[in-house]
Amino acid sequence: MDFTLATYRNLLIAFQRAHYGFATFQQFCEGSAAEKCVILRHDVDLKAKSSLETAEIEYHLGIPASYYFRVVPQSNKPHIIKQIADLKHEIGYHYEDLALFKGDKAKAIAHFEKQLTCLRRYYPVKTICMHGSFLSKYDNRDLWQSYNYRDFGIIGEPYLDIDFNKVLYLTDTGRCWDGERFRWRDKVSSSFTLRFHTSRQICEALEKNTLPDKIMITTHPQRWTDNPFSWMVELLSQTAKNSIKLVVIKQRNRKRQSLLL
């Protein structure tokens, strides 16, 4: 079964056996990542406790990872943030300030700075990552059209600071590894044509040595569980979300095309 913690652990071990190093996004930005490495990123959208489970697996395997926390209460759990930081993982801000304040950039940047200060109680935050805010018309990255995140001591934002023609991007958005059709903003421009549906297919590619040397893997820890009931609930809820997303994305694309005519 895919999207279990056991599968996740096996996936990490498969990368280790293929002689990949692991790095946080901060380490990558600072130039201290290995030449052959996986930049391991987690977006903590919901169920913060699930992030602690993946963080513990990584810690016992000697793997560092980056955890990006939202401001919403389902994600922003200080005691869990602290525990993950204590496990030597990077903590970052999964910002959605422009969407929260409906495009008001002055309020958004003030909130951004406030939240950054709060997170820095637990870790010296150096990187950020936008939250897609699928239901909002505002792209959170547009905040940086008026401000510069480097003025706040931030050294990297993956969607703005990684050349994905050189770094393969793999994400479990949509609860699969080939969920491009379910993404609205979680997309990158890339020359790579590799496609995988399951974690097992990624492991097979590792065995055949067909993956590039640099990879960013993004997961949402709430998707990964060994609890059969929680696993089924996540499967059913994500299947429903995917159906809704497809309808909304088609409507948005039609609207976009009509504006171009």
Show me where the domains of the chain are located: 5-260
Task: Provide mean pLDDT across the span 203-218.
Answer: 98
Residue 69's SS3 state is strand
Collapsing DSSP to helix, strand or coil, 33 comes out as coil
Digit-coded pLDDT (tens) for 137-175: 999 999 999 999 999 999 999 999 999 999 999 999 999
Where residue 135 falls among pLDDT bands split at 50, 70, 90? confident
What confidence score (pLDDT) does residue 259 get? Answer: 66
Q: Give percent of the chain with pLDDT exceeding 90.
A: 86
Closest CA to 29 of 108, 121, 75, 92: 92
- Tokens 């998707």 sit on residue: 223
Q: What is the pLDDT of residue 252?
A: 79
Higher pLDDT, 125 or 255: 125
Q: What is the 3-state secondary structure (H, E, C) of 74-104?
A: CCCCHHHHHHHHHCCCEEEEEECHHHHCCCC
260: pLDDT confidence band, cut at 50, 70 and 90?
Answer: low
Residue 233 structure tokens: 């609930």
Residue of 119 and 1 predicted with greater confidence: 119
Task: Please tell me the number of Cα atoms within 13 Å of 123 on its side-chain side.
Answer: 27
The whole-number pLDDT of residue 179 equals 84
Tokens of 177: 């590894």
Percent of the chain with pLDDT over 70: 99
Q: Worst-scoring range by mean pLDDT, 14-18, 55-59, 96-100, 184-188?
A: 184-188
On the 0-12 / 13-18 / 19+ scale of CB atoms within 10 A, 198 is: middle
Query: What is the 3 state secondary structure string of 162-175?
Result: CCCCCCEEEECCCC
Residues 3-30: tens digit of each pLDDT: 999 999 999 999 999 999 999 999 999 9
How far apart, in whole angstroms, are the C-alpha atoms of residue 179 and residue 112? 29
| C-alpha span between 134 and 132 (Å, rounded) | 5
Class of domain 5-260: alpha beta
**Does residue 261 surpass a pLDDT of 70?**
no
Q: Which residues of 119-155 are buried (b: 16+ CB within 10 A; e: fewer)?
A: beebbebbbbbbbbbbebebbbeebbeeeebeeeebe
